[in-house]
Amino acid sequence: MSTATATLPIRVPSVGESITSGVLGSWKRKNGDSVASGDPLFEIETDKVTSEVFAEADGTLEILVAEGTEVKVGQTVGNLHPGKAPARKTAPTETPKKETPAAKAPVRESSPIPSPTLVRTEADTAVLSQSSARSDRESRKKMSPLRRKIADRLVSAQHTAAILTTFNEADLSNLIALRTEVQSTFQAQHGVKLGFMSFFLQAAVHALRAVPAVNARIEGDEIVSQHYFDIGVAVGTERGLVVPVLRDCDQMDLAGLEKSLAAVAARARDGKLSLPDLEGGVFTISNGGVYGSVLSTPILNPPQSAILGLHAIQQRPVAVGDQVEIRQMMNLALSYDHRLIDGKEAVTFLIQIKKFVENPALALLRLTPGS
């Protein structure tokens, strides 16, 4: 005697202790599709992260909740039915009633009365045409929880911190030359390309050690000094800007940093970051240069006290000794909380970054530049 497999409800999973609800972002399968265990079913968007939910068993998908609906953790949003798809419930179609001659209202030929739905004044026509024009020129959609959270954090940072930005520039000619020279060997040996960000991550570790005030945060009326180097790297995705954190950057060489960067960037673009990926950073690097930005003032990522902004590399004439040479220059910007970090410390920090990336052999040898 066989026992039929029961229908399995699909519920919104818990994605973090502080998260109780989210928005059902998109279904990865259609209603009635057959799915296998492990197949992605839908995305849940919260104010911190977007996560995929996967099928726990084989079956046929029945969708109960539409995309874009706000849902709570534990709520059932669909079912997995064993075997074939269940018959879908459809609303009965009404058959239009045929009018009998007796049901028709008499119409006098001498005084025709036009239907009210056809009566339209010049003012009505103007309103309709304006509404049609607006609908053609505009569209509206609700902000995602992630976008709302980003907006709230940016505004909060502006209101709660005394943000100041200091600038400098770095000559990346030596870094570009070294990267070009060792790229093929590096990639063959480590299976990943050598980029620029790994050098800046090592530079940040060095600068955070040299200027400990930057590796601290304000918590109430206390200054919390951090003695570790978990650094966030801002990544732009279709859902918005996220900042996954690379752990213990001081313990990794260039290859380790590049591999970690590739892994978190892939998870960010695929919407597979988890809450631990986003928490606990002490400092952030944001590279607007990949979009062509030449100069900007990055906003703090609370509760961090500083953020480094990188910009596009440009060829510019630079005085080198007694000569003018065309060099590969990048503008650097450090935004910081002036309540905690003084101007002298901020400038010193940025100069340490500059010295490190202008002498890229230091990163390969894991040395530090002289003061």
At 48 the three-state DSSP class reads: coil
Per DSSP, the residues of 181-249 read: HHHHHHHHHHSS---SHHHHHHHHHHHHHH-GGGSEEEETTEEEE--S--EEE-EEETTEEE--EES-G
- 8-11 and 76-81 strand pairing: antiparallel
| Cβ atoms within 10 Å, residue 275 | 15
Dihedral over Cα of 283, 288, 293, 298: its sign: negative
CB 366 within 8 A of CB 255: no
DSSP 8-state secondary structure symbol assigned to residue 305? S
Q: Which of 124, 248, 270, 342 is catalytic?
A: 342
Element (H, E) at 277: helix 275-278
CB 307 within 8 A of CB 283: yes
Instruction: Let me know if 342 is a catalytic residue.
Output: yes
- How far apart CA 346 and CA 300 sit, in angstroms, is 14
- 40-45 and 235-237 strand pairing: unpaired
Which position has the token pair 């690097």? 285
CB 366 within 8 A of CB 334: no
How big is the CA angle at 323 (ends 317 and 326), to the nearest 5 degrees? 25
Q: Which residues are catalytic?
A: 338, 342
